Amino acid sequence: METVSILPYVILFLFTLLSFPFIRKQKSGLPIKRFKLPPGSMGWPYIGETLQLYSQDPNIFFLTKQKRYGEIFKTHILGCPCVMLASPEAARFVLVTHAHLFKPTYPKSKEKLIGPYALFFHQGECHTQLRKLVQRTLAPDAIRKLIPDIEEIAVSAMDSWAASGQVINTLYEMKKFSFEVGILSIFGHLDRGYKEKLEENYQIVDKGYNSFPTNITGTAYHKALLARKRLNQILGEIICERKEKRLAEKDLLGHLLNFKDEKGQTLTEEQIADNIIGVLFAAQDTTASVITWILKFLHDDPKLLEAVKAEQKVIYGSNDGGKRPLTWAQTRSMPLTYRVVLESLRMASIITFTFREAVVDVEYRGYLIPKGWKVMPLFRNIHHDPEFFSDPHEFDPSRFEVAPKPNTFLPFGNGVHSCPGNELAKLEALILVHHFVTRFRWKVVGSQSGIQYAPFPVPQQGFPARYWKESSSFIQHVCP
C-alpha cells in the first residue's frame, strides 16, 4: 500500500503551530474532576501524532490505536486534539442521539473554497431547511426520472474510451462522469458552454482543495480561490438567465430559487452558489472512487463478474438488446449487483471517518470529551471489525443477503448530516455496471494491487485499464 507524500502535511503542521494550542483549557459544563480523558497518546508538542498517521497506511494507525486503547482513545493530529470513536454505539451517540452536542467542522481553508453557506457547514433550523431542498432533488421520486440521461452520459463516455484505444485512468474518467450527473441533477439540461466553464473552473478548485492553503500567487490554493470566484460569476449568469425566462424547473436550482422561509425571505445568490458547489463536491470524488472500486473488485473475481453479467444479461435482453432505457423497477431488481455495490462501499470505506467538534464538555462512558476537541467516528474501523463482518478483509457480497446490525454499516454517515445523495450514488453505480458488463470488456494495465490515498482510498494509479466493446457474437448470444 502507498500513502500520499507527507511533505504537504509537515508544512501544514508548521503553519498551524500559531493557530492551535497543544491542549487548551476549556470552560467546563461538567465537573471535570469526575471524568478523565480517554486513554491514548498526544504525541509531540504541537505536531502531535500527525507524522505517524501520514507516514503509513492510515488504517494501520487507527487499528493499532484501537487494539491498544479500546473503542475510545485520544490523539492529536492536524493541529487539533481529537477523540476517536470506533464502535457502532459511539457513532450513534455522536451522529444521532446526541448530535446536538457536536457540530460539523471543516478547516477554514476548505470552507472558503466550497462556501460558508453550503449545507454541511450548518446545523439546527438552517440546516434542516437546506437539507429539505437538496433532498427534494435527490429523493427516489426525483432521480428515477434521470435514468435515461444518466445512461446516455455513461454509454457516451464508455464509447469514447473504447474508440480511443488508449489506456484510461478509470478514476479520472469516473470523476468526469459523476460531475456530469451532478450537473444534471442541479441544472437539468444545461447549455454546453456553461457546462464547460463550470467544469474547467471546478477542476481547478478541486485540485486546490487538498493542497497546502497558502494564498500566494501561483500556488494551487491561490488558483483555486480565483477559480471559485469565477464559479460565482458563472452561476450568477445562469441564475439570472433562469429568472429572466421564468422557468419553473424542478431541479435543485429551481428549488433553491423558489425557496421562501416563514418570513418570506429568499436565498441570496451567494447562498445558492455555495450550496450548488457543495452538492458538486459531495457528488463527485466519493461516487467516482466507489465506482472505480466496484470495477476493481469485479475484475479481481472472475466468477463474481460472470454472475453479475448473467444477472444483467436478463435485463439487457428484456430491453431489446439495450435499445430501450433501463427502468426504475429494473434498477431495483438487481439483487446481486446491488450487494456488490454495498460490499464495495464497506470494503473501500471511502469516508474513513467524519469530523465533529464538541460544542460543550461531553461525558461518554466515563470519559471527558472537552469542548472544542474534534470527535471522529471511525467508519472504516467499524466496517472492518470481525465482530460485525466475518472475514472483514474478504470481498463477499453474500454477507448483505442479511441486513447488517444497526449502526455497523455507515458508508453515507448517519443522522441529520448523513449524505442526502446516497440513492443517486447507488443508482449511478448500478447503471454503469449494467452497461459495463453487457456492452464492454476491460483489461487492467500495470499493477493490479495496492491502494493510494488522494485523499480518499483509491486503487493504485486510478485503476488504469483499456476498454473495448463486446463482440457482436456476444450481443447475439445475449439477445437471440
- Binding-site members for heme are 419
**Which residues are bridge partners to 77 per DSSP?**
80
Residue 38: closest CA among 6, 2, 4, 82: 82
- Unique residue bearing C-alpha cell 451522529: 95
- Distance, CA of 251 to CA of 268 (rounded, Å): 18
**Which residues are bridge partners to 375 per DSSP?**
83, 356
Are 189 and 254 within 8 A, CB to CB? no
Are 142 and 136 within 8 A, CB to CB? yes
Are 350 and 456 within 8 A, CB to CB? yes
Residue 214: closest CA among 361, 8, 74: 8
Are 418 and 293 within 8 A, CB to CB? no
Residue 470: CB atoms within 10 Å: 15
- Unique residue bearing C-alpha cell 472504516: 380
- List the end-to-end C-alpha distance of the chain, in Å, as a whole number: 45
Indicate the annotated binding residues: 419
3-state DSSP call for residue 38? coil
Burial of 415 (C-beta count, 10 Å sphere; 0-12/13-18/19+): middle
DSSP element (H, E) containing 87: none
- Distance, CA of 164 to CA of 176 (rounded, Å): 16
3-state DSSP call for residue 264? coil
DSSP element (H, E) containing 253: helix 252-258
- Distance, CA of 456 to CA of 74 (rounded, Å): 23
Helix then strand then coil, in percent of the chain rounded to 5, is 55, 10, 30
Exposure string of 129-140, with b = 16+ CB inside 10 Å and e = fewer, is ebbebbebbbee
Strands 167-169 and 367-369, bridge-based pairing: unpaired
Residue 22: CB atoms within 10 Å: 15
Are 425 and 309 within 8 A, CB to CB? no
